[in-house]
């Protein structure tokens, strides 16, 4: 029965960074990082887009082998395919998640954490003891790890949170059902990401084209099931691709859920922290979660390490993790969530007219801020949206 100080469940961006930074903060601790799948980073359930500034806090993308493409432009598309090219939208990256996640896990290992692949946590209990007893299945054997702090970075399923008694359930309206193909041999601007908003194409979400190389892209969409006409995400995607890229070769396929909610009410309890998708730490407007997950992972790893050192892994001590997260990003997500709710009422006819209005701004002056103020002037029904944002 191995004893560890910090046991991290899930080796995605949140978990790998948590293990890495726990070791950096307290090198003397025993830190173990568990990955259920046979390889870190696989299968990829992600559109792989990430902003430059957040990424650089953790890894340098310049020349890195875990990058697929540098992105300089954002193109919004209305339901009728009217395009709005944004100016000054900043730099972004399309990652190769299978390599990126492995890179982060290697950082954790280089810092001294033990990384176990093909190791699945299947349950845990505490029973008043000082340590959590976590059952782990690995190559047909079951072992019980005794951990002072368990960090749940187990993604949308968020079983660690559930086992620890936290409420991690998601209302149906806040679950995006996503499907995506890797398409090859298609024509698009390889320096731009495309986001198309339309209730007919992707109700409650959007459709995307994220370039991985010239002629190759992640092409997918997310929908909210409550708003659909009965088709599932894959059927919506097949219909969109049949229209946009009928000749694209489908060389990859994935599905998954993106939780567009706000951070769970409580991300901690005695000896447990939950981070990343597992704690619903996703930007509810964009659906982006990678940088959020890494920031939360760093915070969780450092908090866990300090708590073990102080020999106090109580709920009261670990609550600082939640407070800091809410100050850093959680409060912003509450604002974004309010905007999301306001935007839900825009129909396709309105989105088409908005696109035409916004395109009257000169291309080099078409920043997101100007787009927003222009839209407000011409479409007073958007004022409540702005009001919610600044509340």
Residue ranges binding other proteins (CB under 8 A)? 45, 120, 122, 137, 155-159, 162, 168-170, 172, 175, 177-179, 225-226, 228, 230, 232-235, 254-257, 259
Q: Which is nearer to other proteins, 204 or 301 (CB)?
A: 204
User: Least distance in Å: CB of 179 to other proteins?
Assistant: 5
Q: Which is nearer to other proteins, 120 or 270 (CB)?
A: 120
User: Least distance in Å: CB of 225 to other proteins?
Assistant: 4
Q: Which is nearer to other proteins, 49 or 161 (CB)?
A: 161
User: Least distance in Å: CB of 123 to other proteins?
Assistant: 9
Q: Which is nearer to other proteins, 216 or 233 (CB)?
A: 233
- In angstroms, the CA 7 to CA 14 distance is 13
Burial (CB count <10 Å: 0-12, 13-18, 19+), residue 353: middle
Q: Which is nearer to other proteins, 264 or 273 (CB)?
A: 264
Residues 6+ apart with CB under 8 A from 238: none
Burial (CB count <10 Å: 0-12, 13-18, 19+), residue 177: buried
Q: Which is nearer to other proteins, 45 or 388 (CB)?
A: 45
- In angstroms, the CA 59 to CA 279 distance is 23
- In angstroms, the CA 249 to CA 81 distance is 22
Q: What is the DSSP string of 111-156?
A: TT-EEEESEEEEEEE-TT-SSEEEEEEETTEEEEEEEEEEEE--GG
User: Least distance in Å: CB of 164 to other proteins?
Assistant: 13
User: Least distance in Å: CB of 289 to other proteins?
Assistant: 14
User: Least distance in Å: CB of 8 to other proteins?
Assistant: 18
**Cis ω for the linkage preceding 43 (within 30 of 0):** yes
């Amino acid at each position: 029965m191995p004893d560890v100080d910090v046991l991290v469940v899930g080796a995605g961006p949140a978990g790998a960074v948590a293990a890495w930074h726990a070791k950096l903060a307290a090198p003397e601790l025993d830190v173990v990082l568990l990955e259920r799948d046979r390889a870190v980073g696989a299968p990829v359930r992600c559109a792989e887009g990430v902003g430059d500034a957040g990424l650089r806090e953790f890894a340098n993308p310049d020349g890195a082998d875990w990058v697929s493409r540098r992105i300089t432009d954002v193109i919004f598309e209305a339901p009728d395919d009217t395009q709005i090219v944004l100016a000054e939208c900043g730099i972004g990256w399309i990652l190769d998640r299978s390599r990126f996640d492995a890179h982060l896990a290697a950082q954790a290992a280089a810092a001294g954490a033990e990384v176990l692949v093909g190791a699945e946590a299947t349950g845990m209990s505490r029973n008043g003891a000082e340590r959590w007893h976590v059952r782990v299945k690995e190559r047909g054997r079951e072992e019980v790890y005794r951990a002072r702090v368990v960090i749940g970075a187990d993604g949308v399923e968020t079983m660690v949170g559930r086992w620890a008694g936290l409420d991690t359930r998601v209302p149906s309206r806040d679950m995006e059902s996503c499907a995506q193909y890797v398409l090859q041999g298609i024509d698009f601007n390889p320096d731009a990401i495309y986001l198309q908003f339309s209730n007919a194409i992707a109700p409650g979400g959007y459709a995307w084209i994220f370039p991985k190389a010239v002629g190759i892209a992640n092409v997918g969409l997310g929908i909210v099931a409550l708003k659909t006409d009965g088709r599932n995400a894959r059927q919506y995607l097949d219909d969109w691709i049949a229209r946009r890229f009928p000749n694209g070769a489908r060389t990859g396929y994935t599905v998954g859920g993106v939780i567009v909610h706000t951070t769970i009410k409580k991300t901690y309890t005695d000896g447990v922290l939950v981070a990343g998708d597992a704690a619903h730490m996703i930007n509810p407007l964009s659906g982006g979660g990678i940088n959020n997950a890494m920031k939360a992972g760093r915070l969780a790893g450092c908090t866990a390490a300090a708590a073990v050192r102080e020999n106090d892994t109580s709920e009261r001590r670990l609550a600082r993790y939640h407070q800091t997260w809410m100050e850093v990003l959680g409060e912003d997500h509450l604002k974004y969530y309010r905007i999301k709710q306001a935007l839900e009422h825009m129909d396709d006819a309105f989105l088409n007219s908005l696109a035409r209005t916004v395109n009257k701004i000169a291309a080099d002056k078409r920043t997101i801020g100007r787009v927003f103020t222009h839209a407000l002037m011409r479409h007073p029904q958007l004022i409540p949206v702005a009001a919610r944002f600044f509340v």
